Amino acid sequence: MSAQAIQPYTLLDDEDCEARILRARETLGERLVILGHHYQRDEVFRHADFTGDSLKLSRQAAASEADYIVFCGVHFMAEVADILSRPEQVSILPDMSAGCSMADMANLKNVERAWQELSEILDVEETITPVTYINSAADLKGFCGEHGGIVCTSTNARHVLEWSFNQKEKVLFFPDQHLGRNTAYTMDIALDEMVVWDYDKPRGGLSVAQIKKAKIILWKGFCSVHQMFQPEQIDNFKQKYPETKIISHPESPFEVCQKSDYIGSTEYIIKTIADAEPGTRWLVATELNLVNRLHDQFKHQGKNVHFMSPNVCMCSTMFRIDPQHMAWVLENLVDGHVVNQISVPTDVAVQAKLALARMLDVSP
C-alpha cells in the first residue's frame, strides 16, 4: 500500500486534524517523539513531548527510545536531530518547505568562495576559525568541522567565540551578523574590528586592509523576524510606560540590544520573565508566537508582556508546520510509511558532528 498523499489533508479543519493526531499518537506510543520549537504555532505546539530551542530538542530526542522524531520546526533543526540521533532513529519534518531565511543566506558554495578569497590575503587555516550559528545547513556545520571550526547557539555564543579566539586570531562568523556583533561587543571587541562580508560582492566588498584589521568577519545574514525590531520602538513604548524592562534576543539589531536591559536566547527570555517580580512590564524582541504565549502564561501574576514591533512579526516558515501536515505525517507512520524524512549524508554528518562536539565541550 502506497503512502497517503497530502492533498486530502489540506481540506481538513483543525478540529478534525486534532482528533486524528491524538489517535495516531496513541497508536504509535513510545515509538514516536514530537519536538516543538518555541516559535511554533499553538495548534501544533500543544502536541509536543518536548519544547525548547533546537539543540536542546535534538539532544532530548536522541536520548529517547523513540523510533520516529517528528520535528515541528524548520529544516536545519531536523538535520541536527538526524545528526545527533542514533542510526536507527528517523528524523521527520512535517512540511519540507519549512526552511529558514537566515540559514539560506549562507550556503556552502558562497562560504567556500569566501574561504578561497580570504586565503588569497591570509593563511586561513592558521589565522581564521570558522564559526556557524546552529541556524545553518548541515553542510556548513560540516565545513566548520573540516576546517577546525565550531557551531554556536545564542546561549553559548560567547563561550564559543572565546574558544575560537584561543585557537586563532580571527573568526569568520555566519550566517547571522547580529548575533556575532552583539556577542563580540560584550567581549570588548571594537566595532571597527568587525567587518561585514557581503557574499554578493567580490572579496565580500572589503579592502585588504579591512580584512587584515578585522578580528571578526561577519556574514551579511540576518533573521527576518528579529531584523524588524528598531530602537525607536523601544523609545516610543517607554514614553508611555517608562517602567518597562526591555528584553531582546541577540539576533536583534545592535542598536536594539544596546537599549535592552536583558539580552539572551529564547530559553533565557522565558526564564527571566518567569523569575521576574509580579506586576512588572516587559517589551520583548523575539518571535510573536512565543511572546503571545508568555503574555498568556504570566498575566495571572500581573506581568504585562508586550511584543516590540507594531507589525505582525512571526516566523513565516515555522508557521508552515500546521495540524494538517502533522496529521498526514503521523497517519502515514501508523500505516508503516515514512514521509518527509530528513537524512544528512554520512560524510557531512561526521564533520558536522565534530563541530557540534567541539561546541558541547566548551559550553558551560
Q: How far is CA 112 from CA 106, 108, 194, 245, in A?
A: 10, 6, 20, 42
What's the whole-number mean pLDDT along residues 318-343? Answer: 93
**Domain boundaries, given as residue ranges, for the chain:** 7-99+317-343, 103-224, 226-307
Share of the chain above pLDDT 90, in %: 87
When mean pLDDT is compared across 88-92, 285-289, 315-319, 358-362, the lowest value belongs to 315-319
When mean pLDDT is compared across 112-121, 198-207, 313-322, 343-352, the lowest value belongs to 313-322
Instruction: Check residue 310 and give its pLDDT.
Output: 81
C-alpha cell at 17: 486534524
Q: Where are the alpha helices (DSSP H) in 147-301?
A: 157-167, 177-186, 208-213, 231-240, 254-258, 266-275, 288-298
- pTM value is 0.92
Query: What is the average pLDDT value for the chain, to the nearest integer?
Result: 94
- Cα distance between residue 262 and residue 25, in whole Å: 39
| 71 CA to centre of own chain | 13
Kindly provide the b/e burial profile for residues 104-132, where b requires at least 16 CB atoms within 10 angstroms of the residue's own CB.
ebbbeebbeebbebbeeeeebeeebbbbb
| CATH class of the structural domain 226-307 | alpha beta
257 pLDDT band (50/70/90 cuts)?
very high
What's the whole-number mean pLDDT along residues 186-190? Answer: 97
Instruction: Check residue 248 and give its pLDDT.
Output: 98
What's the whole-number mean pLDDT along residues 57-78? Answer: 94
Four-residue CA torsion sign, 133, 130, 358, 76: positive
**pLDDT, tens digit, 9 for 90 and up, residues 83-133:** 999 999 999 999 998 878 888 899 999 999 999 999 999 999 999 999 999
- Cα distance between residue 151 and residue 136, in whole Å: 9
Q: How far is CA 256 from CA 29, 182, 228, in A?
A: 45, 10, 10
Whether domain 7-99+317-343 has CATH 2.40.160.20: no
Instruction: Check residue 311 and give its pLDDT.
Output: 73
- Cα distance between residue 303 and residue 278, in whole Å: 6
Instruction: Check residue 41 and give its pLDDT.
Output: 85
Backbone angles phi, psi at 71, to 5 degrees: -100, 110
- Between CA 106 and CA 111, with CA 109 as vertex, the angle to 5 degrees is 50
The residue type at 131 = V
- Between CA 80 and CA 66, with CA 144 as vertex, the angle to 5 degrees is 15
Instruction: Check residue 294 and give its pLDDT.
Output: 96
Q: DSSP string spanning 307-331?
A: ES-SS----TTGGG--HHHHHHHHH
Res 331 pLDDT > 70: yes
Instruction: Check residue 314 and give its pLDDT.
Output: 58
Report which of 91, 86, 132, 87 is spatially closest to residue 108, judged by C-alpha positions.
132
C-alpha cell at 176: 547571522
Question: Does 103-224 match 226-307 in CATH topology?
Answer: yes
Q: DSSP string spanning 12-46?
A: S-HHHHHHHHHHHHHHHGGGEEEEEETTS-HHHHT
1 pLDDT band (50/70/90 cuts)?
low
**pLDDT, tens digit, 9 for 90 and up, residues 189-222:** 999 999 999 999 999 999 999 999 999 999 999 9
Res 315 pLDDT > 80: no
CATH no. for 103-224 = 3.40.50
Contact 108, 137 (CB under 8 A): yes
What's the whole-number mean pLDDT along residues 327-349? Answer: 97
**pLDDT, tens digit, 9 for 90 and up, residues 223-244:** 888 889 999 999 999 999 999 9
What's the whole-number mean pLDDT along residues 140-161? Answer: 97
